Copies of this chain bind each other. A is one copy, B any other.
């Protein structure tokens, strides 16, 4: 049986199969496909003549984050045995690689599995609804973006905090790629973009509330 690379090294993971795809390929597929989704969405939404470039970029973000939630995070929630995969399925390869930065995915930590479950199967589908809401400027789009952005941000903040509470060294390999690249770097996206989105939505909502408030009060 292959020895696994996850911390702590004495973790029992019977049936572990090492990565079958080199990590450079996994990263290239993940980030390459993500960038392509945003670019495709930007190009395709060009036909919605009334949308600003900023709105078209937000449509790209909500599409790509929805796909990542539903497809990629959905995989790790549904498939506790991802690390036993012998087929080289890219979705399992991603998680075999990421677990080097956080073995709680392999050990099925209660918070990780449940937070990812909500993210994949609640936030995920709502992300796709938000894409529709942005394209057709539905009145509820800012409300939905505020709620899901806060959900992403809070989930990610708790993700970092619980890891530091337990001790990063407990389930993160010490190499900089895993701590700085995967654990800090990749997850920071869901800190930075949701905060940006909350600010964007808050400006619109607060201005709209102020405008209608004036009409009604005076």
> Which residues of A are interface residues toward B (Cβ below 8 A)?
50, 110-111, 113-115, 117-118, 137, 139-143, 146-147, 150-151, 154-155, 157-158, 161-162, 165-166, 198, 201-202, 204-213, 215, 217
Contact = CB atoms under 8 A, between A and B. Distances in A.
Copies of this chain, how many?
2
B158 A115 contact: yes
A166 B110 contact: yes
Contact of A212 (B113, B157, B207): B207
Contacts of A208: 205, 208-209, 211-213
B212 A137 contact: no
A205 to B, nearest CB: 5
Q: Which 7 A-B pairs have the closest CB atoms?
A: A139-B210, A114-B161, A208-B208, A111-B111, A110-B165, A110-B162, A208-B212
Nearest to A161: B114
Contact of A114 (B142, B162, B202): B162
Contact of A150 (B117, B142, B150): B150
Given A205-B208, A208-B213, 17 more contacts: A110-B161, A110-B166, A111-B111, A114-B158, A114-B165, A118-B158, A139-B206, A139-B209, A143-B146, A143-B202, A143-B206, A147-B147, A205-B205, A207-B212, A208-B208, A208-B209, A211-B211
